[in-house]
Structure 1
Amino acid sequence: MSTLEIWLLAVSLAIDCFTVSVTSGIILRRIQWRTFLKMAFFFGFFQALMPLIGWFGASRFNHLIESYDHWIAFALLAFLGIRMIREHFKDSEECSFDPTSLKVILTMAVATSIDALAVGISFAFTGFNSIGQLFSPLIIIGIASFVLSIVGNLIGIFFGKRFNLRMELFGGLVLIGIGVKILVEHLFL
Structure 2
Amino acid sequence: MELSTPQWGQLVTLLMVAVALGMDAFSLGIGIGMRGILQWQILVISGTIGLFHVVMPLMGITMGYYLGTMVKDIAVMTGGGVLCFLGINMVWNAFRSGEEPRLIDIKSVTGVCLFSISVSLDSLSAGLSLGLFAADVWLAVILFGVLGALMAGMGLLLGRHVGSWIGDYGEAVGGVILFFLGLRFLM
1:181 CA displacement: 1.9
Instruction: State the TM-score, normalized to the length of structure 1.
Output: 0.83
Moved more, 117-126 or 154-163: 154-163
Identify which of 158, 168, 172 aligns with 2:171.
168
3-state DSSP of counterpart to 2:129: helix
Q: Is the 8 A contact 1:87 1:95 kept in 2?
A: no
Matched with 1:21 is 29
Matched with 1:154 is 157
Matched with 2:17 is 9
* Aligned pairs for 1:49-88 within 5 A: 49-59=55-65, 61-62=67-68, 64-88=70-94
1:126 partner amino acid? F
1:110 partner amino acid? I
Identify which of 121, 124, 129 aligns with 1:117.
124
Against the structure 1 CA distance between its residues 136 and 35, is the aligned structure 2 distance closer, same or farther, given a 3 Å change threshold?
same
1:173 CA displacement: 2.1
The answer to whether structure 1 residue 41 and structure 2 residue 44 are counterparts is: no
Matched residues in 1 for 2:74 and 2:161: separation?
Answer: 37
3-state DSSP of counterpart to 2:147: helix
Question: Identity of aligned pairs, percent?
Answer: 23
Deviations 1:45-98 (A, max 9, x none): 111211111111124543552352222112211221111121122137568353
Matched with 1:98 is 105
Q: Is the 8 A contact 2:25 2:119 kept in 1?
A: yes
2:112 partner amino acid? I
1:10 CA displacement: 0.9
Q: Structure 1 regions of 5+ residues with no counterpart?
A: 185-189
Matched residues in 1 for 2:18 and 2:65: separation?
Answer: 23
Against the structure 1 CA distance between its residues 183 and 127, is the aligned structure 2 distance closer, same or farther, given a 3 Å change threshold?
farther
Matched residues in 2 for 1:18 and 1:92: separation?
Answer: 31
1:18 CA displacement: 1.2
Matched residues in 2 for 1:59 and 1:148: separation?
Answer: 28
The alignment of Structure 1 onto Structure 2 pairs a total of residues equal to: 178
1:168 CA displacement: 2.4
Against the structure 1 CA distance between its residues 36 and 161, is the aligned structure 2 distance closer, same or farther, given a 3 Å change threshold?
same
Instruction: State the TM-score, normalized to the length of structure 2.
Output: 0.84
Q: Is the 8 A contact 1:115 1:182 kept in 2?
A: no
Against the structure 1 CA distance between its residues 95 and 24, is the aligned structure 2 distance closer, same or farther, given a 3 Å change threshold?
farther
Runs of 4+ in 1 over 6 A off after TM superposition: none
Moved more, 93-102 or 49-58: 93-102
Matched residues in 1 for 2:151 and 2:68: separation?
Answer: 29
